[in-house]
Amino acid sequence: MQKAWFYEEHGPKEVLKLGDFPIPSPLHNQLLVEVRAAALNPIDSKRRQKPFCPSEFPVVPGCDVAGVVVAKGSGVTKFCIGDEVYGNIQDFNAEGQPKQLGTLAEFIVVEESLVAKKPKNLSFEEAASLPLAVQTAIEGFITADFKEGENIFVVGGGGGVGSLVVQLAKHLFGSSYVVATCSTPKVEFVKSLGADEVVDYTKTRYEEIEEKYDYVYDTIGDSKNSFVVAKDGAPIIDITWPPSNPRAVYSSLTVSGENLEKLEPFLETGKLKAVIDPTGPYNFMDVIQAFGYLETGRARGKVVISSFPSEHHLHPAICESKNNI
């Protein structure tokens, strides 16, 4: 058995409980991963607060994971026992129901196609902070057919997705000029990510911004207001559903370990950096507190959970017996 956080009804963070779950067995194309770190995302809260998509109770929340492979199905070819991996285990765009057993557990199973080997220069906490947010961030550039040399206006440059959008725009997609909004305490932080200009939204309204931009990337769902800084006909990406402006295009994400593999050179050279909120990482026993902080909307980067309580690390020799499942 293992410890996991779960809920049996929709509601506020207080419906979360800590309890015992069986350690799952990997199927043909799956890995059994001992979780070393996980990250929280707004979708975890939304799914818990109200029915987001069909699911059966109990639900263990969590999409992002970094950990160690301790067993694998007979069809797995890319990974070996002992490999350090990371990824987003939940593909909400896929047919069927989301996984009941999310990443806020000591052990999880995941299809090998959804994870990648953890870059050696990243901690488990840094790796866990990336998958869902960076997959979402990249998808927005693809959806809008972003061109090198275009300028960009990023709404919410200090958040989990926004902090990556700023970096990607500047260092990977070749934006000529990156402007991002944030609150006063995050201004210097967002500048450090590569933003050429930072707009403090507590002091400046969209209507006061004279410049118009080739591309507006709204990470907080404020496209009903932020559209005014876009040039005529310029794409406006909104990662919240439904977009608050009918002109905005909703951008979801492609869940893929292969996409994470493509980022490895940029992560290893430091062109793309994981951003963990300085209040964390939170201990596994403090998940409710961590969700409380996430839901304030004040996080700088990602809210990460680590220090998982597993005292029974599975020995490779034990795991071998599961490999032919």
Structural domain boundaries in the chain: 2-130+275-322, 133-250
In terms of phi and psi (left: phi > 0; alpha: psi -120 to 50; beta: otherwise), the region of 99 is beta
Give the single-character DSSP code of 199: E
Residue 22 pLDDT more than 90?
yes
Q: What is the pLDDT of residues 144-197, one digit of tens each?
A: 999 999 999 999 999 999 999 999 999 999 999 999 999 999 999 999 999 999
What local confidence, expressed as pLDDT, does residue 96 receive? 61
Give Cα 68 distance to the centre of its chain.
19
- What CATH number labels 2-130+275-322? 3.90.180.10
**Residue 9, number of CB atoms within 10 A of its CB:** 9
Q: What is the pLDDT of residues 226-259, one digit of tens each?
A: 999 999 999 999 998 888 899 999 988 889 999 9
What local confidence, expressed as pLDDT, does residue 26 receive? 97
Q: What is the pLDDT of residues 50-101, one digit of tens each?
A: 876 667 899 999 999 999 999 999 999 999 999 999 999 998 776 667 888 9
List C-alpha distances in Å: 235 to 21, 135, 140, 147, 231: 46, 19, 10, 12, 9
Beta carbons of 37 and 63 less than 8 angstroms apart: no
Superfamily of domain 133-250: NAD(P)-binding Rossmann-like Domain (3.40.50.720)
- In terms of Cβ atoms closer than 10 Å to its own Cβ (0-12, 13-18, 19+), residue 57 is exposed
Over its C-alpha atoms, the chain yields an Rg (Å, rounded) of: 20
Q: What is the pLDDT of residues 279-313, one digit of tens each?
A: 999 999 999 999 999 999 889 999 999 988 764 45
Residue 324 pLDDT more than 60?
no
Q: What is the pLDDT of residues 39-51, one digit of tens each?
A: 999 999 999 998 7
What local confidence, expressed as pLDDT, does residue 325 receive? 34
Same fold, 2-130+275-322 and 133-250: no
Beta carbons of 47 and 131 less than 8 angstroms apart: no
- Average pLDDT rounded to a whole number, residues 10-30: 96
